Amino acid sequence: MLNLGLSVVSLARFQFAMTTVFHFFFVPFSIGMGFLVAVMETMYVVKKDKVYLDMTKFWGKIFLLSFAVGIVTGIIQEFQFGMNWSEYSRFMGDVFGAPLAIEALLAFFIESVFIGIWMFTWDKFTPGWHAVMIWMTSIGTMLSAIWILAANSFMQHPTGFKINGSTGRIQLTNFGDVVTNPQLWRVFPHVIISAIMAAGVVIAGMSAWGLLKKKKGENHFFKTSLRFGLWVGLIFSILTLIAGDFQTQQMLKDQPMKFAATEGIYNDTDDPAPWTIIESIDAKDHKASNQVDIPVMLSVLTYHKTSGSVQGMNSLNKEFHAKYDKKFGKDMDYYAPAKTLFWSFRIMSAVDGIIGLVSLLGLIWSRKKKDTIENKRWFLIIMGICIWVPFIGITAGWFVTEFGRYPWIVYGLMTIAQAVSPTSTVGSLLFSNIVYFLLFTILGGTMVWYSKRTLNQGPYYEIEDSIENVDPFSKEAFDK
């Protein structure tokens, strides 16, 4: 067999990371866009202002592009557990399969059926009923997030189970505990809120590019969209901050190692704890140096008070050894990858800050009384570039969540190395990695390219002689 110094585990991990990160560009964006398009269509139904109908249709196109890539890459996710992680599937089947199956039955059917209806029934339903279809789709996407996060939360913080003595596999004892896992209800708001924020930022950014085109007749459309997106960006960046803090409280309790790594703390801190903004991390020797600290700040951020110390990775590692050596052996390395976590966390926080700030400035400069935003070309360009920023933040956020689980695939119960398929070979994994990589490059590139062209064509492109032209929101439709 091929020997390139690659191991099955590392290739399988790389593949999981690649497919999940790629899938998770489109999923949060689709969740957010679905919700915002539903809001736009509802605004049209309520206010009967045609610009909201134009917005629904135009941003709906972008939503559909993203949704398409989101679903096809989603099938990979479901198959991947069996294909690459068969030992994991055997071990976890009793717990993990149920949320996945419920996700399909409850969420995927709603979103797939109702999006099909929404796309093709502009001329069939009254405006209100047509809006119901996109709301159903949006609800479907959010329900889907609940169930997949329920499965993920079990991996982060197992609840409601026992180990079956004869098979050695996990056995579900209380389904209620899986569904009410505190981890789940702390992650879910963070995910949904930041998804909506991401969609808002993209709408604002694309509108900024739209304004830069200075095409006649499109100004009102893009200005309205811009302010819509900026309001979403501002409100939801603040909410994301709150939701993130809410989740951190749980992390502190369930996964102190992950928390210590995100703050780059090796030795237990003083009381009160200083907050390290940046430092250089020596993960090999378990040391950090060159810290830039703000005194007391970490206690404030963590415990919301001016006292309290935070446990470091060194002492946590010792505790893990005392707890798990009997089962997993003395050679385990329990240090979470501190460099990745430390910087991912900072990037994620910075992204949230940038989005909040840019949204605020954009709203100020485009306010009705003194609208000068079009004279600030540089700022429009900055907003345009900001389209990419939330995706960096989202990926960094998942890095914290998933790398922070290291070395566990199921926290405290199964290691990543134990989970991989015994049938996998370096050759087959290398092949599938290359196939996925090529496929994703093409899909991602095409999606972005078509989105960009849709933007260039603008909202009033080719509206004539299309069957979508039948205006469901014309006066007659409302009189029905």
Partner 1 sequence: MTLSTFWFIVIGLLFAIFLFLEGFDFGVGMATRLIGKDMDERVAIMSTIGPHWDGNETWLVTAGGAMFASLPLWYASLFSGYYIVLLLVLVGLILRGVSFEFVKHAETNAGKNIWMWTFFIGSFMAPFLLCLMLLSMVQGIPMNANGDAFPKFFDIVNWLSVVGGVAGVLLSLVHGLNFIRLRMEGPLRERARSLNKVLYPILFAGEVVFAILVFFQTDFFDKRPISSLIITLLIVVFSLIGYWGVLKDHEGWSFAGSGLSLSMVIVLLFNGLFPRVMIATNPAHSILIKDAANSHYTLTIMTIVACILVPIVAIYFIWSYSLFTKRINPKEDKVKY
* Backbone torsions φ then ψ of 324, nearest 5 degrees: -110, -10
- 172 binding partner 1? (CB under 8 A): yes
Contacts of 227 (CB under 8 A, 6+ apart): 363, 366
- 428 binding partner 1? (CB under 8 A): yes
Identify residues 55-84 at the interface with partner 1 (CB under 8 A).
64-65, 67-69, 71-76, 78-79, 81-84
Q: Which residue has the tokens 């559909």?
A: 64
Size of the site for partner 1 (CB under 8 A): 71
Stretch that binds partner 1, among 238-246, 278-286, 331-339, 463-471 (CB under 8 A): 463-471
Taking the C-alpha atoms of residue 415 and residue 155, their distance in angstroms, rounded to an integer, is: 11
Identify residues 293-322 at the interface with partner 1 (CB under 8 A).
none
Closest distance to partner 1 from the beta carbon of 104 (Å): 4
Closest distance to partner 1 from the beta carbon of 151 (Å): 10
Closest distance to partner 1 from the beta carbon of 21 (Å): 16
Tokens of residue 40, six digits? 């736009």
- 20 binding partner 1? (CB under 8 A): no
Identify residues 98-117 at the interface with partner 1 (CB under 8 A).
98, 100-106, 108-110, 112-117
User: Which residue among 48, 377, 468, 470 contacts partner 1 (CB under 8 A)?
Assistant: 468
Identify residues 325-384 at the interface with partner 1 (CB under 8 A).
none
How far apart, in Å, are the Cα atoms of 378 and each of 234, 258, 356, 381, 463? 20, 39, 18, 5, 32
- 141 binding partner 1? (CB under 8 A): no
- 138 binding partner 1? (CB under 8 A): no
Contacts of 27 (CB under 8 A, 6+ apart): 70, 74, 145, 195
Taking the C-alpha atoms of residue 200 and residue 181, their distance in angstroms, rounded to an integer, is: 30
Between 108 and 222, name the residue whose CB sits nearer to partner 1: 108
Closest distance to partner 1 from the beta carbon of 206 (Å): 15
Stretch that binds partner 1, among 52-60, 225-233, 409-417, 438-446 (CB under 8 A): 438-446
CA 234 to chain centre: 18
Identify residues 175-234 at the interface with partner 1 (CB under 8 A).
175
Taking the C-alpha atoms of residue 234 and residue 360, their distance in angstroms, rounded to an integer, is: 6
Between 242 and 448, name the residue whose CB sits nearer to partner 1: 448
- 31 binding partner 1? (CB under 8 A): no
Between 6 and 360, name the residue whose CB sits nearer to partner 1: 6
Sign of CA dihedral 427, 428, 430, 435: positive
Stretch that binds partner 1, among 207-215, 337-345, 357-365, 435-443 (CB under 8 A): 435-443
The residue type at 90 = R
Closest distance to partner 1 from the beta carbon of 477 (Å): 17
Contacts of 226 (CB under 8 A, 6+ apart): 203, 204, 207, 208, 211, 362, 366, 373, 383
Between 10 and 309, name the residue whose CB sits nearer to partner 1: 10
Neighbouring CB atoms inside 10 A of 159's CB total: 19
Taking the C-alpha atoms of residue 33 and residue 62, their distance in angstroms, rounded to an integer, is: 8
